[in-house]
Amino acid sequence: MNITLFGSTGSIGRLVLEQLLELGHNVTAFTRNPDNINLTHQLLHPFKGDILDQSDVFNATQGQDVVICTLGMPLLDKSKLRSHGTKNIVDAMNKANVSRLICLSSMGVGDSHTLLPLKYKHVIGPLLMGRLFADHHLQEQHIKQSELDWTIIRPGSFTKGDFTGSYRHGFTVSNKTAKAKISRPDVADFLIQQLDNDTYLHQSPSISY
């Protein structure tokens, strides 16, 4: 496939990029600084651009089969770059006639808030993650209000663990046994699995151990 990856130098994006290339996909890696990719591959096409520049986003999206968004920002960031950038991605995809979008969000957003452990609901969330949840909420709204073929992935807190391939996904708000944590390699694995799987089309599955 021809795939544009936004957030290609983040902690999840780097892993997604590596796996996509290993699988033989042509990847347009959108980044403000291509030097930060630190990777060379014949199927890798670095694209220097600003996620807030609509023309940059559109040019990186043209001719693609799939767009993957793994944009990330610091917990206390106030810029809402994630949601603003995603709005530009949605608009660019509509203009370029690209329909498939796979986007990274977070457990705790929307109806997945009930899945969080008590310390995240009442302590860590209100103190540290309020802006992150709000930004992801707006990001998800932009996507869900579109007519794209979208899937939104909501992982638990990231751990420093390795790839396991053994994790739970798609559980509902009635499930109270989720551990609300997962390794970054497992998150990247699940994102990539959505490329040729429509099980979660127009859905927002949570994922954790």
Question: Does residue 29 contact residue 87 with C-beta atoms inside 8 Å?
Answer: no
Residue labelled with tokens 């992982």: 155
pLDDT (mean) for 129-141: 85
CB 89 within 8 A of CB 61: yes
Predicted confidence band of residue 170 (pLDDT cuts 50, 70, 90): confident
Does 170 or 89 have the greater pLDDT score? 89
Question: Is 173 in contact with 114 (CB distance < 8 Å)?
Answer: yes
pTM value is 0.89
Q: What is the CATH number of the domain that holds 62?
A: 3.40.50.720
Contact 69, 101 (CB under 8 A): yes
Number of domains composing the chain? 1
Q: Look up the domain containing 146 and give its range.
A: 2-208
Please count the CA atoms within 13 angstroms of the CA of 82 that sit on its side-chain side. 26
Indicate whether 130 pLDDT > 70.
no
At residue 176, does pLDDT exceed 70?
no
Q: What whole-number distance in Å separates Cα of residue 200 and Cα of residue 172?
A: 13
- pLDDT beyond 90 at 109: no
Token output for 155: 């992982």
129, two tokens: 């993650």
